[in-house]
A and B are shown apart, each in its own frame.
Chain A
C-alpha cells in the first residue's frame, strides 16, 4: 500500500465532491434542518408556556356574591395543558378593578384572562369571559362549568331552596388528573419517548449516509470504468491503493458534510435547557433527560459506527460496482447488499421499544446490521460494555475481511467489460493470484 498514492486519490475524490454545487447546498440545508430538529424540546416547552400564561384569571365581581371563592371548587387541580410536566393550576384572583380595567390588563398581557360577573335585569348572573384566545382554551371550559353551577345555586337561593341540603347534594366530585410522561414499561426497562426520538434520528441518519455515500463509491467506480480512465489508474497505482483512496476520499467528503450538521445539532441539543430558559419558556416542561451527555454519547457512538459501517459497506459497494460496466447496472449489482442494510434498518425500528430483546441484541452484534441497530440501542438504553466491545470488534474484523476480498474482486472487476462473471467463477478468480 503506497500511502502517497492513497492520499492523492482520496484528495481528488474529496475535492471533486466538495466542489459540487449540490453537495454544498445539501450541507447547508442539513445544518439548518438539524438545528431546527434539535430545538424541538424548547419549542414544546415554549408552546406549553403559552397555556401556563392562561393561568391567572382576574375575577371582576360586581355582584358581591363571593364568585371567586365559589368558583374555586370547580377548577380541576393539576394541569391546564396537555403537555407533559408542570402546567400550572388556574389561579383565580379576586380584584377590585372595573371591567374595562380588567380588559386592559388582559390586552397588555398582565393577566391571561378575566371573568366579569354582573347581574342582568332579571337578577340572573351574567358572566363575560375575556381572553385573547377566545373560548378555545381549556380554562374557558372549566370556568363555564363553574359558572353553570354557581348560576344554578344562585337561582335556587333566589327561589328559597335550603342552602345546606343543596350543598350536600351538589358537592363537586373528586376529580384528579395525574400527569404522566409518554412512557411504557417494557421488559423492565424504562423507555423514554424523547430517547426514542433521538434513536430515530441517528438510525435514519446512519442508513441514509451509508447508503448515499456508498452509492457514491459504486457510481464513482463505474464512472472510471465507463470513461476508461481505469486502465491508466490501474497502471499507475495498485487496485488496493485505488480502492483505499476512493473509500477514504468519499468517506472524508461524507464527514465534511456530516460534521457541521452533527456539531450544530449536538450543540443546540446539549443547550436545550439554557436556550429554553433564555427564551422565557418553563424549563421544567423539557423532557427529563440529560441533554449534554446524550449529545456527546449519541454523536460519539454514531461516529464510531458510521466510520466502521461506512467503510465496510463502501468496500462492498466498490467491489460490486467494479463488476458492471454501465451506470444503469449499478442498482442491480448492489441490490443484495441493500437488502441486508434494510434488514438492519427495519430491525432497529422494530426493536426501539424493546432494546434489550434477543433480536435487538443479536442484530446489534452482527456486523452487517450492527451500525443501524446498535446506534439505536446506545441512545435508548446503553447495553453492557461487553456487548459494545463485541459489536465493535466483530465489525472491525468484518471490515478487514471485506476490504481484502473487495480489493481482489476490484482488481479483476475493473478491467472486465461486457458480460458479468458468474459468482462461482469470480470467487475462484479472487482466490488465485492473477495480478497485482
Chain B
C-alpha cells in the first residue's frame, strides 16, 4: 500500500530534468518533496500523475503501474493555480470532481463538507474571479480532493497564503492524513516541511540527494547543533579551541555550534563552568532540514544556462 517511484529519469533536449530518482511514499504519512526552483519537483510530480512519461524507470501505486491506474486515484494541486475564472464555484467543483470520475452525489456531499470545514460556504455561488486570492487557493485545494483520491499531489500548496489561511491548509492536510491518504507536497519553504512532514526527499538538479523520515534525514549529516547562550553575550574565542567544536553562527544572544557527538557538547558545558561563566541556554538538537538541505546542495557547481534546451522544455 504505497506509492513507489523507481529510478525515473526525464530529459528535455540536453537538459536532464530528473535523473534516476527513486523513493517510496507511505499512506497515512505526509511526504515533503524539497528542492530549489527548477530542481525537478514539478517534473517528477507530473510523471507520478502520468501527465508526462519518464524516459526510463517506472512508478507504481499499490503495485499497479500508474499508467494503467484509474484517473481518480490522484488529486493534483498544480503550482500554477488555475480554474475557469467565469464559472461558479459550485458548478466548477462538481464539474471537476465528476471529470475525475466521482458521481455528482458524492462530489456534492464532499463539497458541502469541505466548504464548511474551510469556512467559505458564502462563496458557493460566486464566480471564481470574484473570490479573494486566499479563497481561490482553498477552492483550488478542493478541486484536488473532492473526488476522494488515494494520492494527493500538491505542488507548492502554501505559496502565496497568509498565515491564517496557511494554518487552515495545514489542518486540512492533517485531516487528509487521518483519512489514510498518501500526501506528497513540494515546497522550498523548509520550515513548512519540518513542521508537517513525517518523510522527506531532497532533490537537487534532478538528482535525489537524500530521502527518509525526517529525523533520520536530520541525523544523516552526522552532526548535532548546540545552541549555547551566556548570560553576558560576548565574543568567545575559547569555543573554537575545544576539540571537534565549530562555531557555525553568532546569533547575537547565543551561538550555534556544530559538534559530531554528545561528548563534544558536554566539553563545551564543562569549559564554560570551568571559566565560571553563567550559561543561560544550552540545547542539543539535530540540524534543521534547512541546514541539511544547504549542506547537501552547497558546493554543487552552478549549472550554466546554455545547457538547458528550451525548445521543448516544460517548466520543471
Q: Are B311 and A416 in contact (CB under 8 A)?
A: no
Interface size on A, residues (CB 8 A): 32
> Which bracket fits the contact residues of B?
20 to 34
Q: Is B78 an interface residue (CB 8 A)?
A: yes
Bound Cα distance from A236 to B144, whole angstroms = 10
Q: Cβ of B71: which chain A residues have Cβ within 8 Å of it?
A: 235-238
Closest to A237 in B: B99
Task: Flag B73-87 by CB within 8 Å of A: 1 or 0 each.
Answer: 010101011111101
Bound Cα distance from A4 to B99, whole angstroms = 8
Closest to B87 in A: A16
Of the candidates B50, B82, B310, the one whose C-beta lies within 8 Å of that of A436 is B50
Closest to A239 in B: B51
Closest to B78 in A: A231
Q: Cβ of A234: which chain B residues have Cβ within 8 Å of it?
A: 51
Q: Cβ of A429: which chain B residues have Cβ within 8 Å of it?
A: 312
Q: Is A119 an interface residue (CB 8 A)?
A: no
Residues of B contacting A: mostly: loop
Q: Are A434 and B96 in contact (CB under 8 A)?
A: no
Known: A5-B99, A231-B78, A235-B76. A435 touches B51 (CB 8 A): yes
Bound Cα distance from A88 to B43, whole angstroms = 83
Q: Are A231 and B80 in contact (CB under 8 A)?
A: yes
Q: Is B314 an interface residue (CB 8 A)?
A: yes
Closest to B315 in A: A417
Of the candidates B52, B80, B101, the one whose C-beta lies within 8 Å of that of A434 is B52
Q: Are A435 and B50 in contact (CB under 8 A)?
A: yes
Closest to A235 in B: B76
Q: Are B96 and A232 in contact (CB under 8 A)?
A: yes
Q: Cβ of B314: which chain A residues have Cβ within 8 Å of it?
A: 415-417
Q: Is B98 an interface residue (CB 8 A)?
A: yes
Q: Are A8 and B51 in contact (CB under 8 A)?
A: no
Q: Cβ of B310: which chain A residues have Cβ within 8 Å of it?
A: 418-419
Q: Are A227 and B78 in contact (CB under 8 A)?
A: no
Q: Are A228 and B80 in contact (CB under 8 A)?
A: yes
Q: Are A421 and B312 in contact (CB under 8 A)?
A: yes
Task: Flag A192-228 by CB within 8 Å of B: 1 or 0 each.
Answer: 0000000000000000000000000000000010011
Bound Cα distance from A12 to B99, whole angstroms = 11
Q: Cβ of B78: which chain A residues have Cβ within 8 Å of it?
A: 228, 231-232
Q: How far is the CB of B25 from chain A (nearest CB, A)?
A: 17
Known: A235-B51, A416-B314, A422-B311. A229 touches B83 (CB 8 A): yes
Q: Cβ of B82: which chain A residues have Cβ within 8 Å of it?
A: 224, 227-232
Q: Are A419 and B74 in contact (CB under 8 A)?
A: no
Q: Cβ of B203: which chain A residues have Cβ within 8 Å of it?
A: none
Bound Cα distance from A433 to B314, whole angstroms = 16
Closest to A242 in B: B99
Q: 9 more A-B contacts (CB under 8 A) besides A4-B101, A435-B50?
A: A5-B101, A8-B95, A228-B81, A232-B82, A232-B143, A235-B49, A236-B101, A236-B147, A415-B46
Sampled A-B contacts (27; CB under 8 Å) = A5-B99, A5-B101, A8-B98, A12-B95, A228-B78, A229-B82, A231-B80, A231-B82, A232-B76, A232-B78, A232-B82, A232-B83, A233-B96, A235-B49, A235-B74, A236-B72, A236-B99, A236-B101, A237-B71, A238-B71, A415-B46, A418-B313, A419-B311, A421-B311, A435-B50, A435-B52, A436-B50
Chain B residues within CB distance 8 Å of chain A: 46, 49-53, 67, 71-72, 74, 76, 78, 80-85, 87, 95-96, 98-101, 143-144, 147, 310-315
Chain A residues within CB distance 8 Å of chain B: 4-5, 8-9, 12, 16, 224, 227-238, 415-419, 421-422, 425, 429, 433-436
